[in-house]
Chains A and B, each alone.
Chain A
Amino acid sequence: MSPEGPADKADAVAPAIAPGSNRGARHGLRRVVITGAGTINALGHDVASTLEAFREGRCGITQLDFRDVDRLSIQIGAQVHNWTPETYFNRQQILLYDKFTQFTLLAAKQAVAQSGLNFEGALGLRSGVVLGTAGGGLNTWDENYRAVYEEGKNRVHPFVVPKLMNNAAASHVSMEFGLRGPAFTVATACASSNHAMGLAFQMVRSGGADVMLTGGSEAMLCFGGVKAWEGLRVMSKDACRPFSANRNGMVQGEGAGVFVFEEYERARARGADILAEVVGFAMSSDAQDIVMPSAQGAERAITGAMVDAALDRDEIGYINAHGTGTAANDKTECAAVAHAFGHHADRLMISSTKSMHGHLIGGTGAVELLACIMALRDGIIAPTIGYQEPDPECALDVVPNEAREVRIAAVLSNAFAFGGLNAVIALRRA
């Protein structure tokens, strides 16, 4: 990266608090918009191909393909195919980057390219990165445990630790773009990305940073990663069918989603293409059970996000559900939504795109935010595919099997993690 200017110059260009005329600005807080998006997941290696799959209701779940897969009882997953890291990274980088970092960097480069931002100089000092992941460099753990335990080797590669650590992806993103402000990683299982994006939103809104790269990544599709999940007996052996009465569990996915969250006045001043506005965020803890979800905990996060956004519940047109396809999540989530929205629950749409891209665990909220942006920007609601039988315990409009064209103004994205940790984000059309 090029040399920075003096620190006082950086302070001088820091924008003032947004004027009171801003629609979304409350309590002197600044508005936050999304000006870039990037992804790689089982549906595609970029945003355009992912959104196309959402529109077509295409499923990215296939037979898993990696070492020792024959010893797994779960044989399916939403795996990223045709992944050739050497197309994007040199030999030294590949030695340093676990797959979750590779996915993150690819998505981050797409997002930054779309935003048109250049972080050289003062902006880098006012910008940061906060990412979610649950497993971090799990492939690196897996490969090296295999080497020392199964193969009896007594020596491992010198970069094992910097490769596997959960903050590796955030650190490499900060280095790639020269982001010198807040940089860290959030690990809250299946809510990691939503927590990360919520914190990034709060930082830009409060003035802690002007631009944040945020989202999350997961690369857990390896022998040890899937074997661990098998133990809980909540995985489906055939398909992910959220909200369908015959659903029989979740299907794991992998990949990353990264976004550029930018202070609104700054984005407007430079004429950036605004994809959506981030208007609210709330988190809650069930404080109850390590795996069983609570409708009350979920509802508090849903309601909290709307309060934070100053949105009335009838303004919400679409919810991207957590919708894992397990018996427990889907009925609990529907109960929470029904209770939080009252009569409006029968009018809003709620779909689970995990039916297409699988459950990316710590990266899932990031990829799902793409469906929220598509709903607001293009007026296309991604479907819940694999839907076969209505379930009276999930009696909401789950947008079964086919995408729908509806113009809407505001959306929510739900994430409810093991450990009872809930995180809900609210977006509004730009």
Chain B
Amino acid sequence: MTEMIRERIRAIIAEQAMLEPEQVTDTSSPEDLGIDSLGLVEAIFAIEEAFDISIPFNANEPEKSDFDISNMGTIIAAVERLVADKAA
């Protein structure tokens, strides 16, 4: 399950960053990948659509969001939680 989530998110982020999925590692931050604020909002929308979840994210205060976007690892962990909450 975790692996499937990880791969789908990697594919979404890679597409947004115009990179190959292999170039997106768990420690990559959105800035590392060249994703700006609008690109991030777009990627979050794509993740919401892919997993049918709602991600609490306000572009005005990304650091205060419950959804930690520091790097790929934190994004994947947050999506896993939201997917698990939805299944529960």
Instruction: Please measure, in the bound complex, the distance between the C-alpha atom of A393 and the C-alpha atom of B82, giving whole angstroms.
Output: 34
**In the complex, B32 has a CB within 8 A of chain A:** no
Q: What 1/0 flags go to A276-291 for Cβ under 8 Å of B?
A: 0000000000000011
The answer to whether B60 and A248 have CB atoms under 8 Å apart is yes
Q: Give the size of the chain B interface in residues (CB under 8 angstroms).
A: 13
Give chain A interface residues in 62-108, CB to chain B under 8 Å.
73
A232 interface neighbour in B36, B41, B54, B61, Cβ under 8 Å: B41
Contacts of B57 in A (CB 8 A): 233
Give chain B interface residues in 29-51, CB to chain A under 8 Å.
36-38, 41, 44-45
B60 interface neighbour in A231, A234, A290, Cβ under 8 Å: A234
Given A292-B37, A292-B38, A327-B59 contact (CB < 8 Å): yes
Give chain A interface residues in 220-263, CB to chain B under 8 Å.
231-237, 247-249
A249 interface neighbour in B37, B44, B60, Cβ under 8 Å: B60
Contacts of B64 in A (CB 8 A): 248
The answer to whether A248 and B58 have CB atoms under 8 Å apart is yes
Instruction: Please measure, in the bound complex, the distance between the C-alpha atom of A327 and the C-alpha atom of B60, giving whole angstroms.
Output: 5
Instruction: Please measure, in the bound complex, the distance between the C-alpha atom of A291 and the C-alpha atom of B38, giving whole angstroms.
Output: 8
The answer to whether A247 and B60 have CB atoms under 8 Å apart is yes
**In the complex, A326 has a CB within 8 A of chain B:** yes
Contacts of A234 in B (CB 8 A): 58-60
What's the nearest-Cβ distance from chain A to residue B45, in Å? 7
What's the nearest-Cβ distance from chain A to residue B63, in Å? 10
Q: A73-B54, A233-B44 are in contact. List 7 more A-B contacts (CB 8 A).
A: A233-B41, A233-B57, A236-B58, A236-B60, A248-B64, A290-B38, A291-B38
Q: Give the size of the chain A interface in residues (CB under 8 angstroms).
A: 17
What's the nearest-Cβ distance from chain A to residue B10, in Å? 22
Instruction: Please measure, in the bound complex, the distance between the C-alpha atom of A234 and the C-alpha atom of B61, giving whole angstroms.
Output: 9
The answer to whether A249 and B38 have CB atoms under 8 Å apart is no
What's the nearest-Cβ distance from chain B to residue A19, in Å? 52
Q: Enumerate the 6 nearest inter-chain pairs by beta-carbon distance, A residue then B residue, closest first.
A: A327-B60, A233-B59, A249-B60, A248-B60, A248-B61, A233-B41
Instruction: Please measure, in the bound complex, the distance between the C-alpha atom of A195 and the C-alpha atom of B58, giving whole angstroms.
Output: 30
Instruction: Please measure, in the bound complex, the distance between the C-alpha atom of A236 and the C-alpha atom of B58, giving whole angstroms.
Output: 8
The answer to whether A231 and B45 have CB atoms under 8 Å apart is yes
Contacts of A328 in B (CB 8 A): 37, 60
Contacts of A326 in B (CB 8 A): 59-60
Instruction: Please measure, in the bound complex, the distance between the C-alpha atom of A207 and the C-alpha atom of B38, giving whole angstroms.
Output: 44
Instruction: Please measure, in the bound complex, the distance between the C-alpha atom of A232 and the C-alpha atom of B57, giving whole angstroms.
Output: 10
Contacts of B45 in A (CB 8 A): 231
What's the nearest-Cβ distance from chain B to residue A99, in Å? 28
Give chain A interface residues in 326-361, CB to chain B under 8 Å.
326-328
Instruction: Please measure, in the bound complex, the distance between the C-alpha atom of A233 and the C-alpha atom of B64, giving whole angstroms.
Output: 14
Instruction: Please measure, in the bound complex, the distance between the C-alpha atom of A310 and the C-alpha atom of B64, giving whole angstroms.
Output: 45
A327 interface neighbour in B36, B41, B54, B61, Cβ under 8 Å: B61
What's the nearest-Cβ distance from chain A to residue B29, in Å? 18
Contacts of B61 in A (CB 8 A): 248, 327
Instruction: Please measure, in the bound complex, the distance between the C-alpha atom of A326 and the C-alpha atom of B54, giving whole angstroms.
Output: 22
Instruction: Please measure, in the bound complex, the distance between the C-alpha atom of A92 and the C-alpha atom of B37, giving whole angstroms.
Output: 47
What's the nearest-Cβ distance from chain A to residue B65, in Å? 10
With most chain A CB atoms within 10 A of its CB, the pick from B36, B38, B57, B64 is: B38
Give chain B interface residues in 15-36, CB to chain A under 8 Å.
36
Instruction: Please measure, in the bound complex, the distance between the C-alpha atom of A73 and the C-alpha atom of B54, giving whole angstroms.
Output: 10
Instruction: Please measure, in the bound complex, the distance between the C-alpha atom of A237 and the C-alpha atom of B60, giving whole angstroms.
Output: 11
CB closest chain-B residue, reference A326:
B60
CB closest chain-A residue, reference B40:
A233
Instruction: Please measure, in the bound complex, the distance between the C-alpha atom of A292 and the C-alpha atom of B36, giving whole angstroms.
Output: 10
6 cross-chain CB contacts under 8 A: A231-B41, A234-B59, A235-B58, A236-B58, A292-B38, A328-B60
Contacts of B41 in A (CB 8 A): 231-233
Give chain A interface residues in 4-27, CB to chain B under 8 Å.
none
The answer to whether A232 and B59 have CB atoms under 8 Å apart is yes
Instruction: Please measure, in the bound complex, the distance between the C-alpha atom of A135 and the C-alpha atom of B64, giving whole angstroms.
Output: 32
What's the nearest-Cβ distance from chain B to residue A231, in Å? 7
Instruction: Please measure, in the bound complex, the distance between the C-alpha atom of A291 and the C-alpha atom of B60, giving whole angstroms.
Output: 13
Instruction: Please measure, in the bound complex, the distance between the C-alpha atom of A248 and the C-alpha atom of B59, giving whole angstroms.
Output: 8
What's the nearest-Cβ distance from chain B to residue A238, in Å? 11
CB closest chain-A residue, reference B45:
A231
Instruction: Please measure, in the bound complex, the distance between the C-alpha atom of A234 and the C-alpha atom of B54, giving whole angstroms.
Output: 16
Contacts of A249 in B (CB 8 A): 58-60
CB closest chain-A residue, reference B56:
A73
CB closest chain-B residue, reference A73:
B54
CB closest chain-B residue, reference A327:
B60
CB closest chain-B residue, reference A232:
B41
Q: What 1/0 flags go to A147-183 for Cβ under 8 Å of B?
A: 0000000000000000000000000000000000000
